[in-house]
Amino acid sequence: MKKVITYGTYDLLHQGHLNLLRRAKELGDYLIVGVTSDSFDRERGKLNVRNNVLERIEAVKATGYADEVIIEEYVGQKIDDIQKYNIDYFAIGSDWTGQFDYLNEYCKVVYLPRTEGISSTLLRAESQREIRVGIIGTGRIANRFIPESTCVSGVTIASVFNPDLTEAEQFAHKHGIEHHTNNLEECFNKTDAVYIASPHIYHFSQIEQALQSGKHVLCEIPLALTGDEAKQLYDLAAKKGLVLLEASKTAHCPAWSHLLSLAKSGIIGDIVDVKASLSRLLPDTCMREFDESQAGGSVTELAPLCLMAVIKLLGCNYSDVRFYSKMQGGVDIFTQAQLVFDHAVANITLGLGVKTEGNLVISGTKGYILVPSPWWLTNYFEVCYEDINKNKKYFYSYDGDGLRYEIQEFASMIFNKRMDSFRLYPNESIAIADIIGKYRSGSKTTILK
């Protein structure tokens, strides 16, 4: 029996793909199709927003040409697969001519003619219009957002808003954005969606205005300063049929998604303790972070990422929360919080004027997971056991500033009309805002001298 193998992304499966699969099948008796994983696509710089790997696998199976479908997950896998499955022919499209000649050492390489005038890129261009995004706010994170957005297909920056027109103009000139304004309605008129990167105190009103104007919203952390505010916004988004997503970049990075899957699978047993810490020693020029009137302080600045980790791992149903803070100039420069669950406990340590180690430790009944500092830029973690010979290290790429992953999810939700993201569900985002609101109310807080 002659075996054939071929590989592809198969995003937006089209006639060209069908022709290639048919020609590959005709080379032998048994066809294996390798579908690239989402993480491998990301490593190669392909941040598509339409079909995930499970949807692409099902589409390939539905063609009837594949006798077996496997997932391609790493560089060099083709050689491993050819030897593992005793492959006779490696087939690939003619646009790759010459690039896989090195595989002739292991099997016969065949470059198949491609169907002229059709490709996933062309189909994507025809089937999806660009999402025109408006940037609200021109601070540090907004400056990082612009280059990250260029890595995601289907997204273009159409406008920038700042209440100070001069600052809006300077930002637009710096990044080559055609339109700038100090009028929110003008920004909404030029866009399909907005990315909100303004000071915390404006998030609620600006999200509400954007949703009322029919715009999808990606908002920087924290999405809101109370649980009630967050719930109002998600209810409004649902009523309007619009996407509302909190820009918790850690929640969207590849390593965190895998870590969460492993932890939930029971690999370290029952989770009984989560410890997350995050601190930054900011320069005196960072005035907003230390301004009480602008909702500054370590909780509003840093807690959303740590709370995201706790809630994704342990759930939203905590029974009690307590805070311990050191204050300076009306804001907390250090806060430690303890959340008690029926089955576990969690501690988060935050600092703007106090430095801590910045690790994440997830303790279970069989072992623990260690994500070293800076854990929120997750690209490596280790699963540890009593028998150190069983320990396993996991490494991932974390490209750029990481914002591209949240932009990709936001765009995918819009194109595919998904109102919720499993990476951060609305109820989880609301729970984070509710805990921040409890802290700001002061009822659960002990002030340290």
At 10 the pLDDT is 86
DSSP state of 214: T
At 123 the pLDDT is 46
Question: Which amino acid makes up residue 264?
Answer: K
At 95 the pLDDT is 87
At 37 the pLDDT is 83
DSSP state of 106: T
At 398 the pLDDT is 84
At 67 the pLDDT is 96
One digit per residue, pLDDT tens: the chain, 449 residues? 999 999 988 877 778 889 999 999 999 999 999 998 876 666 555 566 567 778 888 889 999 999 999 999 887 899 999 999 999 999 999 989 999 999 999 999 999 997 765 555 544 454 456 899 999 999 999 999 999 999 888 899 999 999 999 999 999 999 999 999 999 999 999 999 999 999 999 999 999 999 999 999 999 999 999 999 999 999 999 999 999 999 999 999 888 988 999 999 999 999 999 999 999 987 766 688 899 999 999 999 999 999 999 999 999 999 999 999 999 989 999 999 999 999 999 999 999 988 999 999 999 999 999 999 999 999 999 999 999 999 999 988 788 899 999 999 999 899 888 999 999 999 999 999 999 999 999 988 899 98
At 41 the pLDDT is 60
At 39 the pLDDT is 66
> What distance separates the 2 farthest-apart alpha carbons in the chain?
78
- Answer yes or no: are the C-beta atoms of 393 and 371 closer than 8 Å: no
402 vs 400: CA distance, rounded Å: 5
At 84 the pLDDT is 94
Instruction: Take residue 70 and report the two structure tokens written for it.
Output: 């496997």
- If phi > 0 it is left, if psi is from -120 to 50 it is alpha, else beta; for residue 254 that is alpha
Cα 63 to Cα 16, 24, 51, 260: the distances in Å are 12, 13, 16, 33
Instruction: Take residue 162 and report the two structure tokens written for it.
Output: 């700042």
At 116 the pLDDT is 62
**Cα dihedral 210/161/189/191 (nearest 10):** -80
51 vs 415: CA distance, rounded Å: 10
- Answer yes or no: are the C-beta atoms of 104 and 165 closer than 8 Å: no
Q: 421-438: b or e for each residue (b if 16 or more CB lie within 10 Å)?
A: bebbebebbbbbbbbbbb
How does the average pLDDT of the chain come out, rounded?
91
